[in-house]
Structure 1
Amino acid sequence: MYGGGNVFEATKFDDLQQEDPVLLAEFEARIARGEKIEPNDWMPQLYRKQLVRMIEQHAHSEIIGALPEGTWITRAPGFRRKLAQMAKVQDEVGHAQLLYSAAETLGKTREQMLTDLINGKSKYSNVFNYPAFTWADSNIISWLIDAGAIVNQMANAKGSYGPYCRALDRICAEEAFHLKYGHDAVVHMATGSPVQRQMIQEALNRWWPPIMTFFGPSDKMSTHTETLMRWKVKMASNDACRQQFLDMYVPKIWELGLTVPDAKLRKNEEGVWEYTEPDWDEFKRVINGDGPCNAERLAVRRSAEERGAWVRRALLSPKASYVRPLA
């Protein structure tokens, strides 16, 4: 669900001065030729560090992102919607498994990644710290959040690190189905009763500000994008992804008779979307743990980790005898 790239943390790019210049030049030449970097290949420590952060945060976003939609499985209207919602949530968790495996090839264990998530050290996408009040909220997530993720993922699937690109190829194929499912659910409500139309419009109003920050801070606020893009860690800037998303989905929103809650949203004479600048202070607060649902979402993951500990112990030591806890 998550596209990656909006939670990069500052890293000292002075680290590059400590790398072997011959190996670094060869590494950059390989990337320039379009070759993939594999786990056993030489790579700058900065490249490894940024990829670990990016991929694990993508993985965290998949399992945390399943929570707001997962709460609507039992309340989805009708058996067909329940089955579809369940399948989608299952896919998102499966995406996390693929991504944790890809990140592990860079030297950080899954256990370390999950510990960092639960302790609040490792971040995940800001949009998953907002509540899904109604079934309409879940549908907006399934359509527009997944749409934003696909914009990022389709670009990053052409990146330089082989294991991540291969994981993204599979994830993008499944996300395409999620997007169709979300669009169908939104169309159903937007063309339904007045109450349904009101619900979906109110959900769009709630989610539009988080959607606009989903791709991360504007390029003028980033100091490291150039190097990351040269190494094909990132394949498109945050603003370019945001513009692509607006190009693709604002017309679709308008076609449904829905209103984008931004009076300044328009295309200028140069074909560039203008919009109200997102609240980046709120973005930073949410990323750093002060969002409406940060504590709740991490508490769920912490509980799942604790309750599943006996299963992991049993799998790692099959000859040992473990009793499942009653709690």
Structure 2
Amino acid sequence: MYGGGNTFEPVNSKELTNEDPVKLEAFEARIERGEKIEPTDWMPDLYRKQLIRMIEQHAHSEIIGALPEGTWITRAPGFRRKLALMAKVQDEVGHAQLLYAAAETLGKPREAMIDDLINGKSKYSNIFNYPAYTWADACFISWLVDAGAIVNQLANARGSYGPYCRALDRICAEESFHLKYGHHCVIHMATGTKKQRQMMQEAIDRWWAPMMHFFGPPDKMSAHTEVLMKWKVKMASNDDMRNQFLDMYVPKIWELGFTIPDPKLSKDQETGRWVYTEPDWEEFKRVINGDGPCNAERLAVRRTAEERGRWVREALKTPKTDYVKPLV
């Protein structure tokens, strides 16, 4: 689960001025031909830097994204729902491992990535810093947040960096099952009791603003430069992905009889683009930079997990005869 372009990270295209022009031309020609760039190939420093940032952020988002849903495993209604949600959360954590491995091929160790996450240096998707109060919140995440992630991931799977594309191919296959699971959960709520429908509507009301933030700031505010699109690091603009999501899922939400908390939401028939209330980008920046409802809680959980698992990692690196498990 992830929203592309979900930060205000600065991109300085002046970094290109120090690159070998012959190598740069050959690199861009390969991308233009549709070839994949592999870890041992020459690449501009800016290309490497931005890929690390993007893939690392994606991996962190998968790990943190498992937390709001994970709290509902024991409280999910019925044994089958518990099993399904447990499998989904396990998949999300597995996706993070694939992505950390892809990012490592660019030269940044996994340990450094995890340290940057728990120390608040690295970013992750804004939407996972909001609380899941009810089962309906978990249903919204499983359907619509995963739907937004698929919009982004299918686009980036056509990108230029081989290890990331191959990881996304597998991730998208598994996310399609998550999407079906979430849709089934929402349909169950929509066709249930009056109370269930009310819970689902309240969840939509709570999560719609973070969902609009999910794809990142509008193109006019985005720090991503034209060169990153040219290099196929970023395959679609934030506004285009947001519009695609609205195109695909607003009609489905309305079909289920739910309303969307935006009186301006409508489709311009001439342009084919959706019109909506401009999201509060100041809130987005606050949440991304650590001041959201659950930022501290999410990182505290990851910090605790890192500390508790340290003895396992140390044991794996230590000869069996030399290691004694601590008593606490």
Equivalent in the alignment of 2:147? 147
* 1:88 equivalent in alignment to 2:88: yes
1:95 to partner: Cα distance? 0.1
2:304 paired residue number:
303
Task: Say whether the 8 Å CA contact 1:4–1:55 is kept in structure 2.
Answer: no
2:208 pairs with 1:237: no
Which position in structure 2 is the counterpart of 1:79?
A: 79
Specify the code of the residue in structure 1 equivalent to 2:164. Answer: Y
Moved over 3 A (4+): none
Aligned counterparts of 1:6 and 1:232: Cα–Cα separation in 2:
17
* Counterpart residue type for residue 48 of structure 1: R
Classify the secondary structure of the residue corresponding to 2:29.
helix
Tell me if 1:184 matches 2:176. no
Return the match for 2:324 from 315, 322, 325: 322
Distance 1:275 1:318 in 2: 60
Structure 1 distance, partners of 2:256, 2:327, is 50
Residues 5 and 238, structure 2, Cα contact 8 Å, conserved in 1: yes
Deviates more, 1:72-81 or 1:225-234: 225-234
Contact conserved, 1:8 with 1:53, CA < 8 A, in 2?
Answer: no
Q: Displacement, 1:322?
A: 2.7
Q: Percent identity?
A: 78
1:280 is the counterpart of 2:281: yes
> 2:8, 2:75 → 1: CA distance?
35
AA in 2 matched with 1:286: V
* Higher mean displacement: 243-252 or 268-277: 268-277
Q: CA deviation at 1:3?
A: 3.9
Residues 26-56 of structure 1: CA distance to partner in whole angstroms, max 9, x if unpaired?
1000000000000000000000000000000
The Cα shift of 1:102 comes to 0.1
Structure 1 match to 2:294: 293
Q: Which residue of 1 aligns with 2:113?
A: 113
Instruction: Write the distance in 2 (CA, Å) between the matches of 1:318 and 1:91.
Output: 31
Which amino acid in the other structure matches residue 296 of structure 1?
E
TM-score w.r.t. structure 2 length?
0.98
Number of residues of Structure 1 aligned to a counterpart in Structure 2: 326
Using structure 1 for the length normalisation, give the TM-score: 0.98
Match of 1:221, SS? coil
Q: Are 1:129 and 1:291, in contact at CA under 8 Å, matched by a contact in 2?
A: yes
Report what 1:257 is aligned to.
257
Cα offset, 1:8, TM superposition: 5.2
Cα drift, residue 316 of structure 1: 1.3
Higher relative contact order (Cα pairs below 8 Å, separated by 6+ residues)? 2
Cα distance in structure 2, aligned partners of 1:119 and 1:216: 22
Q: Return the offset for 1:324.
A: 3.9
TM-superposed CA distance for 1:7, in Å, is 2.1
2 CA distance for matches of 1:280 and 1:5? 14
1:225-283 Cα offsets, whole Å, 9 max, x none, are 31111000010000000000000000000010000111000001322100000000000
Unaligned runs of 5+ in 1: none
Alpha-carbon separation, structure 2, partners of 1:284 and 1:222:
12
Distance 2:326 2:73 in 1: 27
Cα contact 2:191–2:197 (8 A) shared by 1: yes
CA distance in 2, matches of 1:318, 1:169: 37
Which residue identity lines up with residue 250 of structure 1 in the other structure?
Answer: V
2: distance between equivalents of 1:325 and 1:27? 54
RMSD: 0.9
* Matched residue SS, 2:220: helix
